[in-house]
Amino acid sequence: MSTVYIVYWSGTGNTEAMAQAVAAGVTEGGAEAVVWNVSEADIEAVAGAKAIALGCPSMGAEQLEESEMEPFMTDLDGKISGKTVGLFGSYGWGAGEWMEDWVNRVNADGATALNGEGIICNGAPDADTLENLKALGRDLAANA
């Protein structure tokens, strides 16, 4: 069975809830879902997969979380060419700029950001967002 790795950072649980919904979609789609907090992620395993999902809220000033997620992403930048990548994350008060930057970054790495945009939500994911995240997971399973 193919595996989709879902790696996230979450301070207060909103992005973690999003990650679990992506995982449910991956399972529905017939692939194995491995969900890792970024602090425990095996970057070589992630680099070896065809389809991955990455989640992080907007932190700093419209940035990835700087102590764990940004260093992980910097490591990954040279390793994701050709992959299908699903991006997701929660935000508070901004307009989603961090996610636009992240989508552009992933595409510049030679990967394909699924749907051409990330799935974002203000605070905790609502029912519609959870459905969209499951659909993302099913799409990732189809590309794994």
Ligand X SMILES: Cc1cc2nc3c(=O)[nH]c(=O)nc-3n(C[C@H](O)[C@H](O)[C@H](O)COP(=O)(O)O)c2cc1C
Q: Does 71 bind ligand X (CB under 6 A)?
A: no
Q: Does 10 bind ligand X (CB under 6 A)?
A: yes
Q: Does 13 bind ligand X (CB under 6 A)?
A: yes
Amino acid letter for position 93: W
DSSP state of 125: -
Plot region of 116 (φ>0 → left; ψ -120 to 50 → alpha; else → beta): left
Q: Does 78 bind ligand X (CB under 6 A)?
A: no
Q: Does 112 bind ligand X (CB under 6 A)?
A: no
CA distance 108 to 73: 13
Considering the complex, what minimum distance in angstroms separates the CB of residue 43 from ligand X? 21
Beta bridge partners of 4: 33
Q: For the chain, what is the total number of helices (H) and then of strands (E)?
A: 5, 6
Q: Which stretch in 20-28, 57-65, 72-80, 125-133 sits in contact with ligand X by CB under 6 A?
A: 57-65
CA distance 113 to 31: 19
Judged by CB, which is closer to ligand X: 47, or 124?
124
Q: Give Cα 98 to chain centroid, integer Å.
A: 13
Q: Does 59 bind ligand X (CB under 6 A)?
A: yes
Among 5, 72, 88, 91, binds ligand X (CB under 6 A): 91
Q: Does 126 bind ligand X (CB under 6 A)?
A: no
Which spans of this chain sit near ligand X (rule: CB under 6 A)? 10-15, 57-62, 90-94, 123
